[in-house]
Structure 1
Amino acid sequence: MSLTSSTTGGASSLDDAPVSSFHRRIMVVAMGGPFCDGYLLGVMGVALGLITPALALDTLWTGLTAASVLVGVFIGGAVFGPITDRVGRHLMYVLNLATFVVFSALQFFVTEAWQLLVLRLLIGIAIGADYPIASALTTELVPRRMRGPALSGLVLAWWVGYGVSYWVGWALTGLGDDSWRWMLASGTVPALIFLFMRAGIPESPRWLASRGRMDEAKAVVRKHLGQEVSDEELLAEGRQEKRGGSGLGNLVEIFKRGYTVPVVFCSVFWICQVAPAFAVRSFHVASDIGLPELLYSLRDDVRLQRYVEQQLGRLVQHDARHGSDLLSTLREYLVAAGNKSIAAKHVGLSRQAFYQRLRTIERLLGNDLESGAHRTQLHVAVTALDVLGGAGGTVRPASL
């Protein structure tokens, strides 16, 4: 549908209006919602491995925590489309981001698994609600020539937010035992930024026309698009059946009107896209508990601290006394799986100098570094030291 100008002489419709700074602003602001959607979903992929031991989550609760936000997305998408039609795009636009801000911040303070589950469910509902909100306001406020790029931009923004969440999550891992709290709460920052950017975005004149609010619709068109429209033209634009009931009822209506095949096709397409993208990824990170995660869960066990001291104590003390960095040399050697040439290249030493360092390490530890069993023991000890002492193992355990 199009809002046509009331000026004579074939003035172009709003659908064909020239692109303005207002339209570009709408595109950028609309992309903020999907950006936050992707960010809030993606950051859990980094945080969940730390949340599991911190909140003592078993397999059931780990799965529920990861899945809760996805359940919320389904509910939000089904229910808030028709609600947006009833109360307006602008109000839901602002409330949606405000919900991101509040619930993201509250995640920092959770102490029980059920609290995190409830918050993730509510965040998921807000994410699901944002899909119809952002797309509706975008398509109703931008000219026809921009709608394709604008809607594509919403998808792109989602993936950018998803990718940024992983970079931020990994950057925050060095904050200690509570780093997962900062990861989850970090979603407050982009949500606040886009919430302020959404201030001043008007209600859709198409929605106002559909509700009979002609003066308000004409005022929006006049102020932001510099055009005049008549009551007759607004009434023509507003003649559409007002939806009511729940979101599920409207889904049934879609099938009744003969859209079954397109709906099934689009649904299968999106399932194939999003399942490996973030559903499987969340559970993969949660279930792929490697050596660092296992040792992290044992970080308070005095036996682990004693093991590290037994295996690496002399080496750490030697580095402290002489200002050397033999521990880093050993770490690179173990990472290279005993390949001396590769390890020497990584530390920037000649092979002769690197071999000399290895002989010093063997003398201090009393281990044969050519032995696979000894390398395995040392690898566990070095990884445990990293867990106990912080990122990179730069802080020594107290027992050392």
Structure 2
Amino acid sequence: MISVDEARERILQVLHPLPAEIVALADAWQRVAAAPVIARLTQPPADVSAMDGYALRAADGAEGSVLRVIGAAPAGHPFAGAVGAGEAVRLFTGSVVPQGADGILLQEDATRDGDRVRINETVAAGRHIRRAGQDFAAGDAVVPAGRRLTARDVGLAAAANHPWLSVHRRPRVAILATGDEIALPGEPIPPGGIVSSNSHALAALVRAVGGEPMVLPVARDDALMIAAVADSVAGMDMLVTTGGASVGDHDLVIESLKSRGMTLDFWQIAMRPGKPLLFGDLAGTPVLGLPGNPVSAMVCSILFLLPALSRLAGLPAAPPPVSAAILGAAVKANDKRADHLRATISVDGAGRVVATPFPVQDSAMLRRLALADALILRAPHAPSLEAGAEVGVIRLDSLGI
């Protein structure tokens, strides 16, 4: 068995960001920029007023002075002339500051009488003026490559005059559940069978991080049926299987896919839940074989599939972020496998984050996983800890899944 960290590194080292494609700006939200977004103009393009008021020379802006209003410059309609001594031009927020003016008299600090305006508070040079290029200049990289585009980024790209953006293609992920006992939700359940949750949970996880899932029909415990999957995943960026990768007589995934040319990188990880995990390559398509147990499959997806999809999507691929918490209940000493305890999160009276593991950690208890806020990380051979001890946790609410 290999460690969690080694397994993740071996997965990531063979994956690469997917090629770029061009999408309309309206479709760019949550996509990953494949190239920097370079500003195609300067913003603002000229000195503009930050407030409603009057443009004037600061030298004429003493309190009590009266100036002659020689025109107006609504936003989008710059004043054609220049402001001279004793003169002012009516402005509005976003109006271009006329030539000759270097100060803004606020509307609320002015008294207007026909074509005359009285200054009720001294005007300072440069105040309330947004300088040309204050936000960005033509040629600036306003959004870096490798960033998942937020609504704010989309707005910034629009302001930089980009109707189209270059983004990485979404990862296409084929999902295959295996087992004679498996029925999809709503189907007749065979004697001794169970309803499959893995395919739908994994498809939701793939969508949550920007991928495109393709759920394949359930493959029965038949070597030829599982091997035939190799013919249906051409063009996919990853094949994720669940079940059939352990050591039983009906655990057929490894040998079945090997018969179609899969090369196996590793199998079995020193972790709980999720020991029987495999990674290989099927004619250029990476294969991640997850345990059939739904809790194990989801924990392994958090630790391995999410970083893998990040790498394919063009994002920095890293382990899920770990934060500190204190235990809300004692935990026993750990064995040779890294453990991932499902836990709830609360905040105590001192403002400390408290992670309380569920008293029963059975990996078949999917409801507990759905109710969990975090995974408490327990290293191999970690000693027992009492309530109040500090531990590392993966906050599930931080992962977007």
Higher helix share: 1
TM-score normalized by the length of structure 1 = 0.19
- The structure having more radius of gyration, on CA atoms, is 2
TM-score for both structures, normalised by structure 2 = 0.19
Whose relative contact order is higher, 1 or 2, with alpha carbons under 8 Å and at least 6 apart?
Answer: 1
